[in-house]
Amino acid sequence: MSLSPFHLAIPVYDLAAARTFYGEVFGLEEGRSSDHWVDFNFYGHQLVIHEHPKTASQENAHSNSVDGHDVPVPHFGVVLDWDKWEALAERLKARGTEFVIEPYVRFQGQVGEQATMFLFDPCGNALEFKAFKDMGQLFAKD
């Protein structure tokens, strides 16, 4: 399956902290930048952090219950290969990352079984990283 890269621009109220987070914690390659924004190669997609005052969703995170966990909304992320997801989870744990939802496998034994983890960037943007052992179940229904 060939995917077109997406472009996502998110607000950050501390550009330096967000730049360090995406560049060093995740090891993302930095692209173009200015004094007010930075492009990153987000697993083949273009993520842009834009300096912006704190938003309502950054101030007060909302959540929905999924599989017994409070999932922050809104959130964004990427679906990785299982091995890359495991490596990222280990990298984040080794760096002492504070998770909203610790890495685990949800919907075990059900359609859509997946590994997932949730965390916030330094500016309160929620991220989810997930993986499917069977990528064919990415859009599977119950």
Please give the Cα distance from 113 to 56 (Å, whole number).
Answer: 32
Domain 63-142 class, CATH top level:
alpha beta
Confidence grade of residue 1 (pLDDT, cut at 50, 70, 90): low
Confidence of residue 61 (pLDDT cuts 50, 70, 90): confident
pTM, full prediction:
0.92
Hey, is 33 helix, strand or coil?
Answer: strand
Q: What is the pLDDT of residue 6?
A: 95
Fold match between 1-53 and 63-142? Answer: yes
Query: Across all residues in the chain, what is the average pLDDT?
Result: 93
Residues in CB range of 136: below 8 A, 6 or more apart:
none
> How far lies 24's CA from each of 18, 122, 142, in Å?
10, 13, 38
Q: Give me the half-sphere count of Cα atoms (radius 13 Å) on the Cβ side of residue 69.
A: 18
The domain defined by 1-53 folds into 2,3-Dihydroxybiphenyl 1,2-Dioxygenase; domain 1 (3.10.180)
Question: Domain boundaries in the chain?
Answer: 1-53, 63-142
At 101, list the tokens.
Answer: 């939802």
Helix/strand/coil for 135: helix
Please give the pLDDT value at position 137: 85
